[in-house]
Amino acid sequence: MTLAAARALVAGARSIAVLTGAGISAESGVPTFRGPGGLWRNYRPEELATPEAFAADPSLVWEWYAWRRGLVAAARPNPGHEALAALERRSAAFQLITQNVDGLHVLAGSRAVIEIHGSLWRTRCVGCGEVRTDRTPAPERIPPHCPCGSLLRPDVVWFGEPLPEDLLGRSIDAVDACDLMLVVGTSGVVQPAASFADAALRRGAPVVEVNLDPTPLSGRATISLRGRSAALLPELISGGPEGGKS
């Protein structure tokens, strides 16, 4: 019943906003933050993804990011990423907001993607602010430096850092304009992204959650589908115009 009802909501939606988290990339072999395998050398992400950790030991933080780049470089988008790219192609209005920094949505063909926490594949100079794309699995030297002499940092948003104003603004606009919101593979603990679904619910827009486990959102979501996103997302979009199977 719930999958059929969720499928009907997707088929009938004109403007869709989607929020994804680490769970959508789990089946591509990229460890989640808070699940098994999310730890690195017994550090928790909250201890490393902070400006304080970087200031204290830039090499350690860069080694964590180099390890993650290595994992992501070997990863491919999974059917969950691909289903969202297909859904975008057939929706009148569509905005994907991801907390992930792995770049797998763009690799899967998604176009309207807001990387609200930045990207593993960009560096930013702490001195001159220059942002560069850097596809190397790991910087030659750790920690890398800018030609201007200053340290380069990963171009991601760490805990305690504000999200880029424009990206946050565009995300809120998309949530305010949607007539359906999907929330996929996020534990819903990190703010401000975790509040987007409530903003949609307050407006009366239905929210469909896809997650392996229950989350703080599960009890409030219009529909909460329990299962793997790589299996559920293709099912969820299959009822649409080009979906064929009823």
Q: What are the residues binding Zn ion (CB under 5 A)? A: 125, 127-128, 146, 148, 150
Phi, psi of 210 (to 5 degrees): -125, 115
Q: 22 contacts which partner out of Zn ion, ligand BV8, none, CB within 5 to 8 A by kind?
A: ligand BV8
Q: 117 contacts which partner out of Zn ion, ligand BV8, none, CB within 5 to 8 A by kind?
A: ligand BV8
Q: Name the token pair of 32.
A: 């989640």
Pairwise CA distance, residues 95 & 110, whole Å: 9
Q: 215 contacts which partner out of ligand BV8, Zn ion, none, CB within 5 to 8 A by kind?
A: ligand BV8
Q: How far is the CB of 221 from ligand BV8 (least distance, A)?
A: 13
Q: Name the token pair of 102.
A: 């792995």
Interaction between residue 164 and ligand BV8 (CB under 6 A)? no
CA 243 and chain centroid, separation: 25
Q: How far is the CB of 113 from ligand BV8 (least distance, A)?
A: 14
Interaction between residue 22 and ligand BV8 (CB under 6 A)? yes
Q: Name the token pair of 193.
A: 């992204």
Is 117 catalytic? The answer is yes
Interaction between residue 157 and ligand BV8 (CB under 6 A)? yes
Cα dihedral value 141, 144, 148, 154, nearest 10: 160
- DSSP code for 30: P
Interaction between residue 211 and ligand BV8 (CB under 6 A)? yes
Interaction between residue 187 and ligand BV8 (CB under 6 A)? yes
- CB 148 within 8 Å of CB 175: no
Pairwise CA distance, residues 85 & 96, whole Å: 9
Question: Which parts of this chain interact with ligand BV8 (CB under 6 A)?
Answer: 21-23, 26-27, 32-35, 38, 46, 49, 99-101, 117, 156-162, 185-187, 189-191, 210-213, 215, 228-229
Indicate which residues carry an active-site annotation: 117
